[in-house]
Structure 1
Amino acid sequence: MNTNHIGQPLARVDGRTKVSGSAQYAADFNQPGQAYAVIVGASIGLGRLTELDTEAAQRVPGVLAVLTHRNTPKLAYAPHKGFIDPEHGERLHVLQDDRVHFYGQPVAVVVAQSLDQAEHAATLLRIGYAAQNPVCDPLDTRAEAVVPEAGREPGPHAADRVRGDPDAALAAAAVSIDAHYDAARENHVPIEPNATVAAWEGERLTLWSKSQFVVNEQAEIAAILGLPAGNVRVVCPFIGGAFGTSLRTWPHVTLAAVAARVVGRPVKLVLSRRQTFHLAGHRPRTVQRVALSSTPDGRLTAIVHEGRGETSRYEQFAEALTAVTPFLYSCPNVRTRYRLVPLDISTPTYMRGPGEATGIFALECAMDELAHALGMDPLALRRRNEPGLDEGLQLPFSSRSMLACYERGADAFGWSRRTLAPGSMRDGRLRIGWGMACASYPVFHGQASARVRLLADGTAEVEAAASDMGPGTYTSITQIAAQTLMLPLERVRFSLGNSDFPPTPPHGGSMTLASVGSAVRAACLAALDRRREAGHGSGIIEASATAGPDAGVRGRFSMHAFGAVFVEVAIDPDVGTIRVRRVVGTYGAGRIVNPRLAASQCTGGMVGGIGMALMERTALDPRDGRPVNAHMADYLVPVNLDIQGLEAHFVDEVDPHVNELGVKGLGEIALVGVAPAVANAVFHATGKRVRELPIRIEHLMEH
């Protein structure tokens, strides 16, 4: 009997369920007597409602209710902030007043017996506005940057950090570069749109809702509606992609619950693709400045990294834009500065590799620019500045395999064959470019709980309120449980996605395996102890356990995953089209529980990074803040024909400090580093430095 499951490239335990179509996603949980709700969004970007004529909509056959701020029940909106929610500001109070904060904000909800009836009635609403001119561009002269409230205190998360005297070092340097970078706003566009089915039974509410954090959604909706948390249950066994868009509880969940209570029957509310651009967060647009200086042989003497990111006016969404800069390279003089720009937009949210992906884009492009100014190989420059410890915190790394990633990735890619001069590599008439960049992401580990039942038939049931949006949580946690219990994989059944299960952190930040896996392992060990104490009886043995990070250990080390990304592009010089031919990513991410799933995670992140580099950009109409390309025809993402050779490699890394399992997480770092590697490859192919994402044909055709 083989019970050595960890480290094996096993197939997904839920694979058959998904490909057979029997997996149920949020909108699949249809209820008897169900009605359908449709959100009507504001058609201005700022102002107030002056007219709301619902009479024609209410006359449509099948319409059950039209909710506006005039007749929606006043909601409690009690204080609640999960740690995934913005720390400062107040969430949108939906349909509670006549104010419009951003384009697409819900101003009405139509509920009808069928979706067609609801959609038709929604078109008949007559809405008038007193419109104001919104500010929706961080470069608008009317926009004012502010210090994020979350970054005002000194420490590792401070908005301003400095060591040494970087300005003096820059002024005295033999070689320096100083450049600005602009990374576009992006939307998550997962296959599954945000959806909720809400049903009341007396004072108890069940939500079948797309959520990466079911226990937070339970607490948030309870606070909004003024209910005990125990009166709300959130169910989400499967997620059809999310990338961060379902970490928060967005207004549509509240509206589904309120609509169901008003009409006295279950209500399904599914956001349209266009509405997901308005109502479910986005990666914020950022503008950054990076200045670097070095000695003639490439030793860094100064790093200055300044960035601004957009946020809404009613909340402060802050991300780790400059967090990597103090420790990625060895440098005596470093300054970072982070500001927020409040705009008349909806609140941004986390999107795969949040902060790090955008910040490393600027830093790693700047390193490539410095290497070119030095006449130096970009990889050699990075190797020369490898630090021996985290110089920002003055702490040792729990493990750092960056040099091993460089070596493994360069060998797999064939980097030694790269010529130094831009434009010097060709394939027939095509210009070939090879670029590379570093990647890093912190090791997050949150407190999680799990429950295990050992049944008389020799099987085990494991439960935790985690989520699975595609990385393989069902499988990897089953592997951990089966190995700990010394059972065959098929004898363990892991259930997740239910707020009635033991609580876990959000399914994001690459923390699920470390957090939930550690809790499941602890619960399995507790169940085995109970079985030994009880003898070999025929009854059910049940045990629960909670596991979390060791604050003492985490205070003694800097904990991060690291990686190196190598990219080849081919560019048609006549029309400027860019094709990514190869991506090789090598990662030091601790213990790899399932290499098959890990490789899938990494190649998926590479695809997202290619989209960030070359395609994805949410364009706003400056007159009203409307996302003009809020549909899949004009919001471009990579498709099969855009993707060629993607390779993921893992270096052997043992880290006894990060958690009991020694895992670091892969979902976020897999995207980090790809966009700058592509940008650097484009420069190597053409000699043209593009500092704006996404890189477009017009950038290369401009003279």
Structure 2
Amino acid sequence: MSKSITLDQPDQRNLLDRMAQGTIGKPVNRLEGPDKVSGVATYAAEFSAPGAANGVLVTSTISKGEVALIDEASVMGMPGVLAVISDQRMIARPAQGGAGEAPVQQVKQIDYWGQPVAVVVAETFEQARDAAKRLKITYNADDMSDVVLNPEDADSWEEGPGTETVEQGALPQAMSEAAYSVDATYTTEGHNSAPMEPHAALAEWDGTKLTVHASLQMLNYNIDELADSMGLDAENVHLLSPYVGGGFGSKLGISPDVAAASVAAMQLGRPVRVVLSRQQVFQSVIRRTETTQRVRLAADADGRLQGFGHEAKVTNLPEEEFAEPVTQASAFLYPGQDRVLKVEMGRIHRMTAGSVRAPGEAVGMQALEAAMDELAEESGIGPVELRLRNIPERHPSDDVPYSSRRLAECLKAGAEAFGWDDKDRKPAQRREGEWWIGTGMATAARIHNLSKAEASVTLMEDGTAVVATDMTDIGTGTYTILGQIAGEMLGLEPSDVLVRLGDSDLARGPGSGGSWGAASSGSAVQIACEAIREELCDMLGCEDEDLTLKDGFAIHNNKRQSLPELLNGRSIEKLGKLKPGETEDDFAQASYGAFFTEVAVNAYTGETRIRRMSGAFGIGRVLNEKTAKSQCMGGMVWCIGSALMEDMMFDHRDGHLANCDLAEYHVPVNRDVPHLDVIMVEERDPAASPLQAKGVGELGICGGAGAICNAIYNACGVRLRSFPMTPDKLIDHLPEI
């Protein structure tokens, strides 16, 4: 039996607030936390299979051309080597209609340095690694003078696939007539997802069915992608990803390790494990594109925007369909009847550009918020006040209402908690020894997504419950949140709810990506629990509003009965189904917030240190205070990385990535991150989901780098428009001491 809800109207029932268990919103510890910290949790590379062989990828050392010859004999005599496999199926691709971002290149046709061309399989990992290093490959390389490697050399630009160009009114006229205006160009460098757990897969083939333990984010799409790549029916593919050590977009689609392990297992008839090295994760999976962004702001004498322009240039490989949606938040965040929004894409030969940590807003918001700070200075209006004056009543382009928006509340709450002073923002006014001290702020915004989701919930005869869905937990707290939702609806403690995730044989969820997991899968769990409650009401002869479930008891008409007693040896299983509906088009839906930070800039070296940072966020209903705050903190850490250090450095001569590990590609570590304050601005959004919750996972990275940029200017008077803002960009422009 199943129950389905299509969200065509805002769900005003407010079910969770009517329940009595009292676990929703509480800072419940992660249910799987002890397993993770004790090493009991099994990740993809740690699964064992009798007789498993090991594969190591071999990647291209040219940027454009073709494989002329793979000399298998050069390694087949080495100890333990079983096979050298170069198969088109190794280049997995999204199934028709899928959401993954696997590349579309051919295994023999080379399109970027580091592209997988073969996998060497041996008895042990060390044997496979040694042979992979010694495998002789002959290439027919294209003339490098004809190969476009760098964005500045792209010879043509097209409208970014999947992005929307908006042209309303006359922006040039608005700029010329504005009381205050900003016309500035900002650049951001490419980013790597850099998940803690490298991509890994263990594949087993029994002659009919392919079973793969893998580190993947979206099993509902991945199963079709892998089946399509291997030439199998989806029912003959079984994916298992119970624990994923971070993904950040890089595990949305089938990656080379999954495809290579599958091909090798099917060819050899024995299990094969393939684990990417850290260098291969950087070189062969996906990157975030670099961007060049022009922002134009035209304001009247009161600082209210009349003209708004945000145009971006991004890149990807030839034929790839993903374009970083840089202007995604710009479409709905600020007003301006004269508007231009555009994303253009150039084709270059670097690894595939795909979704990395809040694609669109993560890089678009930092440039926009830096420009807003420039407008605040130009107009003499405080940065917070300027933003408060520019909160539109309706979507500026689509003219639809906002579903909910606590932006003003976030700005005010964050400013108060931080101790923000909106006045006297003249830069380079405060010194502590050799450090210039300054503060900066920015708005946070991230679109809200809802996706089709299914989840099974079983109320067991002993009064416990089981939640089952193929939804994954990539470190976001999915196990705990789904347990809390089911526990709240059924009157159980989360510890009495077993949550099963990451198995493609279970009910199909939306996967982890786009910050839609909790709202989508969580709503499916709530819907299944509604159906269970309805059956309990039938058994008790009462209406749902008269039934209280708490601490394992059913209470109605002043009668109290334990669930095991009521169930009398039977269990109740229901399938909850959620479908997005007309609310997607009827309302502009997003999560909002505000960042505030204080930095110190060394007067001699240009080194920047973050001294403190606060964020206030409105995400609809907070399902778990602890996991929500943790997600926001993680996003703020990535803001520090984007602002100060993250930069994929490509050799302009041959296109290879020069900093392809965590020693040279810098991410924030403990000493880079100060105490982070997170304020949750509680709200409800009935148009966003039946839970009245919105996405939180990516909001914390959207705009914070702009706040740091603004703080650097306030500290030392150097206005940088190039991210990351490394000391070499500052040092020649620092004030005289």
Bin for the TM-score computed over the shorter chain: over 0.9
The 1:553–1:53 alpha-carbon spacing in structure 2 relative to 1, beyond 3 Å, is closer
* Alignment-derived partner of residue 326 in structure 2: 321
2:80 corresponds to which of 52, 57, 62 = 62
Percent of aligned pairs with the same amino acid = 39
**Displacement after TM superposition at 1:82 (Å):** 4.5
Q: CA offsets, 1:443-493, max 9 Å, x none? A: 111110011122211111110110111111100110000111111222111
Q: How does 1:280-359 map to 2 (within 5 A)?
A: 280-359=285-364
The 1:410–1:33 alpha-carbon spacing in structure 2 relative to 1, beyond 3 Å, is same
Q: How does 1:2-401 map to 2 (within 5 A)?
A: 3-68=21-86, 72=87, 80-85=95-100, 91-92=103-104, 95=107, 98-132=108-142, 133=144, 134-140=147-153, 142-151=154-163, 158=164, 160-401=165-406
Q: How does 1:555-570 map to 2 (within 5 A)?
A: 555-570=585-600
1:684 corresponds to which of 708, 714, 719 = 714
* Alignment-derived partner of residue 155 in structure 1: none
Aligned partner of residue 332 in structure 2, secondary structure: helix
**Displacement after TM superposition at 1:647 (Å):** 0.7
**Displacement after TM superposition at 1:553 (Å):** 2.6
Please state if 1:449 is matched with 2:454.
yes
**Displacement after TM superposition at 1:56 (Å):** 2.2
Please state if 1:667 is matched with 2:667.
no
- Cα distance in structure 2, aligned partners of 1:444 and 1:150: 16
For residue 131 of structure 2, what is the amino acid of its counterpart? A
Please state if 1:548 is matched with 2:579.
yes
Aligned partner of residue 548 in structure 1, secondary structure: strand
Q: CA offsets, 1:401-452, max 9 Å, x none? A: 1110110000011112764101112223311111111111111111100111
Aligned partner of residue 224 in structure 1, secondary structure: helix
For residue 68 of structure 2, what is the amino acid of its counterpart? T
For residue 43 of structure 2, what is the amino acid of its counterpart? Y
* Alignment-derived partner of residue 527 in structure 1: 532
- Cα distance in structure 2, aligned partners of 1:438 and 1:421: 20
The number of equivalent residue pairs is 686
Quick check: 1:300–1:331 contact (8 Å CA) kept in 2?
yes
The 1:636–1:73 alpha-carbon spacing in structure 2 relative to 1, beyond 3 Å, is closer
**Displacement after TM superposition at 1:326 (Å):** 2.9
Aligned partner of residue 663 in structure 1, secondary structure: coil
* Alignment-derived partner of residue 511 in structure 1: 516
- Cα distance in structure 2, aligned partners of 1:680 and 1:424: 14
**Displacement after TM superposition at 1:325 (Å):** 1.5
* Alignment-derived partner of residue 649 in structure 1: 679
**Displacement after TM superposition at 1:229 (Å):** 0.4
* Alignment-derived partner of residue 536 in structure 1: 567
**Displacement after TM superposition at 1:175 (Å):** 2.3
The 1:78–1:651 alpha-carbon spacing in structure 2 relative to 1, beyond 3 Å, is closer
Quick check: 1:519–1:548 contact (8 Å CA) kept in 2?
no
- Runs of 5+ consecutive residues of structure 2 not aligned to the other structure: 1-18, 540-565
**Displacement after TM superposition at 1:266 (Å):** 0.2
For residue 13 of structure 1, what is the amino acid of its counterpart? L
**Displacement after TM superposition at 1:81 (Å):** 3.4
RMSD: 1.8
- Cα distance in structure 2, aligned partners of 1:45 and 1:571: 39
Q: How does 1:557-596 map to 2 (within 5 A)?
A: 557-596=587-626
- Cα distance in structure 2, aligned partners of 1:79 and 1:293: 42
Quick check: 1:182–1:691 contact (8 Å CA) kept in 2?
yes
- Cα distance in structure 2, aligned partners of 1:632 and 1:125: 26
Aligned partner of residue 156 in structure 2, secondary structure: coil
Quick check: 1:371–1:377 contact (8 Å CA) kept in 2?
yes
- Cα distance in structure 2, aligned partners of 1:175 and 1:454: 62
For residue 46 of structure 1, what is the amino acid of its counterpart? K
Quick check: 2:192–2:286 contact (8 Å CA) kept in 1?
yes
Aligned partner of residue 555 in structure 1, secondary structure: helix
> Normalising to structure 1: TM-score of the pair?
0.95
For residue 512 of structure 1, what is the amino acid of its counterpart? G
Aligned partner of residue 134 in structure 2, secondary structure: coil
For residue 100 of structure 2, what is the amino acid of its counterpart? D
For residue 696 of structure 1, what is the amino acid of its counterpart? T
Quick check: 2:454–2:509 contact (8 Å CA) kept in 1?
yes
**Displacement after TM superposition at 1:94 (Å):** 5.3
Quick check: 1:568–1:681 contact (8 Å CA) kept in 2?
yes
Aligned partner of residue 637 in structure 2, secondary structure: helix
- Runs of 5+ consecutive residues of structure 1 not aligned to the other structure: 152-157
Could you tell which deviates more after superposition, 461-470 or 122-131? 122-131
2:727 corresponds to which of 686, 697, 703 = 697
Please state if 1:597 is matched with 2:610.
no
- Cα distance in structure 1, aligned partners of 2:646 and 2:92: 35
Aligned partner of residue 582 in structure 1, secondary structure: strand
Could you tell which deviates more after superposition, 337-346 or 613-622? 337-346
**Displacement after TM superposition at 1:503 (Å):** 0.4
The 1:335–1:327 alpha-carbon spacing in structure 2 relative to 1, beyond 3 Å, is same
Give every structure 1 segment of 4 or more consecutive aligned residues whose post-TM-superposition deviation is greater than 4 Å. 73-79, 531-535
1:415 corresponds to which of 408, 420, 442 = 420
For residue 104 of structure 1, what is the amino acid of its counterpart? G
Quick check: 2:314–2:346 contact (8 Å CA) kept in 1?
yes
- Cα distance in structure 2, aligned partners of 1:22 and 1:418: 54
**Displacement after TM superposition at 1:84 (Å):** 2.1
> Normalising to structure 2: TM-score of the pair?
0.90
The 1:217–1:85 alpha-carbon spacing in structure 2 relative to 1, beyond 3 Å, is closer
Q: CA offsets, 1:183-203, max 9 Å, x none? A: 110001111000000001121
For residue 149 of structure 2, what is the amino acid of its counterpart? C
Aligned partner of residue 699 in structure 2, secondary structure: coil
